[in-house]
Amino acid sequence: MSSVKVMLVVYLFIPAVRPNSGLLKVECLPAVGILAQTTVIRCVFKNVKDIDLLGVYLTKTGQNKPIFSQDGSKSSGDPRFSLENLAVGPSLQISDTMFSDEGKYQYRVVTDSGVEEIQLSISVRAKYKDPVTSTWPKNVTDGGPASLYCNATDGYPEGFIHWFDRSGTNWTINSELTKIPAGVKSVALSSKLTFKSINLGLAPFRCIVFNSKYVQDGENTLEIISARSDVNKDSSRSNATNIVAGVMVIGSLIVGLLFSLLCFRKRNAHHKDTFNNHSKDGRRTSAHPILSYETGRGDEDDVENGDSR
């Protein structure tokens, strides 16, 4: 009878959190975050089902105080950290990822089936900006020498630049890549692809930027300006200018002729009106007046008046 009582008492005082019996196992994948974006650290429970998560504690290696912790519904530490998708496991999420988040961590997970401590790592990279391309010379001659340039900045860690022609052939082996540190956590990339005799039939060329894990960050298609095409454009512009000038001259001549014809017609109409008016008055329309006959009969007037000379 007394032994039963002892067993009952012991059972009632069993702690809610039992030591890890080997069945509880937590696995977290290495996380790669992108600067200023959200990073998710995937963690899952293994070998157990219907488990209750009681708390988590994340401590960066070399530090004593957890950078983030959560007991039940109460969390403390860096507010950028939080638990994510608890139905699957104790995954973590970091908003607005910083370079300072990079490193190794101790992750303590407390459940109703036991406690598990694991190590996890976070690496942070910065995505390269879209590459900028150019050529030298600016107007490339088919069959002549040419250099193609591709530049990408603000990436970390250092990445790579590859060149492809229109058919997908990789020309990277003929290029020269320069990596220039541009800050504590920034590397600028500059690639130069040189041709002693370029075949413009291979254009357009594509410049693709990869990060340190060979994941594509950006791409740009380089449109090459042909020197021959440029000459043709200049010739077309010159021809168009000459045509426009010719049209303007011919138009001016036509306007002048029309104006002269209009003046001529107005002058003829004026002369006709003058002639018609003179005809109605019984007057001679000649421009030279004839002396009046009456003024030439002075002698006859004297005889009639009895005055003889």
User: Which of 227, 242, 271 delimits the end of a domain?
Assistant: 227
Task: Please give the Cα distance from 211 to 90 (Å, whole number).
Answer: 29
Domain with 168, as residue range(s), is: 132-227
Answer for the pair 94, 77: CB distance below 8 angstroms, yes or no: no
Answer for the pair 207, 217: CB distance below 8 angstroms, yes or no: no
User: Which of 203, 227, 251 delimits the end of a domain?
Assistant: 227
Task: Please give the Cα distance from 302 to 46 (Å, whole number).
Answer: 159
Q: What is the pLDDT of residues 77-131, one digit of tens each?
A: 999 999 998 878 899 999 999 999 999 999 999 999 899 999 999 999 999 999 9
Question: CA-CA-CA-CA torsion for 270, 273, 274, 275, nearest 10 degrees?
Answer: 120
**Are both 115 and 148 inside the same structural domain?**
no
Total structural domains within the chain? 2
pLDDT at site 72: 86
**Which residue type is seen at 221?**
T
**Are both 163 and 74 inside the same structural domain?**
no
pLDDT at site 285: 45
**Are both 95 and 138 inside the same structural domain?**
no
CATH number of the domain where residue 105 is located: 2.60.40.10
**6 belongs to a structural domain:** no
Task: Please give the Cα distance from 177 to 193 (Å, whole number).
Answer: 9
**Are both 77 and 117 inside the same structural domain?**
yes
For the cut 50, the answer to whether the pLDDT of residue 23 exceeds it is: yes
Task: Please give the Cα distance from 112 to 108 (Å, whole number).
Answer: 14
Answer for the pair 117, 148: CB distance below 8 angstroms, yes or no: no
Q: Which residue has the tokens 């254009």?
A: 203
pLDDT at site 102: 95
**276 belongs to a structural domain:** no
**Are both 114 and 215 inside the same structural domain?**
no
**Are both 121 and 172 inside the same structural domain?**
no
Task: Please give the Cα distance from 80 to 39 (Å, whole number).
Answer: 10
**Are both 95 and 175 inside the same structural domain?**
no
**Are both 101 and 154 inside the same structural domain?**
no
**Are both 164 and 118 inside the same structural domain?**
no
Enter the DSSP assignment of 71: E
**235 belongs to a structural domain:** no
Kindly report the average pLDDT of the chain as a whole number.
80
How sure is the predictor about 284, in pLDDT bands with cuts at 50, 70 and 90? very low
**3 belongs to a structural domain:** no
Q: What is the pLDDT of residues 186-222, one digit of tens each?
A: 999 999 999 999 999 999 999 999 999 899 999 999 9
**72 belongs to a structural domain:** yes
Q: What is the pLDDT of residues 174-183, one digit of tens each?
A: 999 999 998 8
How sure is the predictor about 232, in pLDDT bands with cuts at 50, 70 and 90? very low
Beta-bridged to residue 135, according to DSSP, are: 148
Tokens of 167: 């058919």
Length of the chain: 309
pLDDT at site 69: 97
**Are both 27 and 99 inside the same structural domain?**
yes
For the cut 70, the answer to whether the pLDDT of residue 235 exceeds it is: no
Estimate to the nearest angstrom the gap between the alpha carbon of 15 and the chain centroid. 61
For the cut 90, the answer to whether the pLDDT of residue 265 exceeds it is: no
Q: What is the pLDDT of residues 141-150, one digit of tens each?
A: 999 999 999 9
User: Which of 227, 246, 274 delimits the end of a domain?
Assistant: 227
For the cut 60, the answer to whether the pLDDT of residue 70 exceeds it is: yes
Whole-number Cα distances in Å, 138 to 40, 41, 133, 238: 45, 48, 11, 21
For every residue of 254-285, which 3-state class applies, written as one string?
A: HHHHHHHHHHHHHHHHHHHHHHHHHHHCCCCC
**302 belongs to a structural domain:** no
**285 belongs to a structural domain:** no
Per cent of the chain over pLDDT 70 is: 68
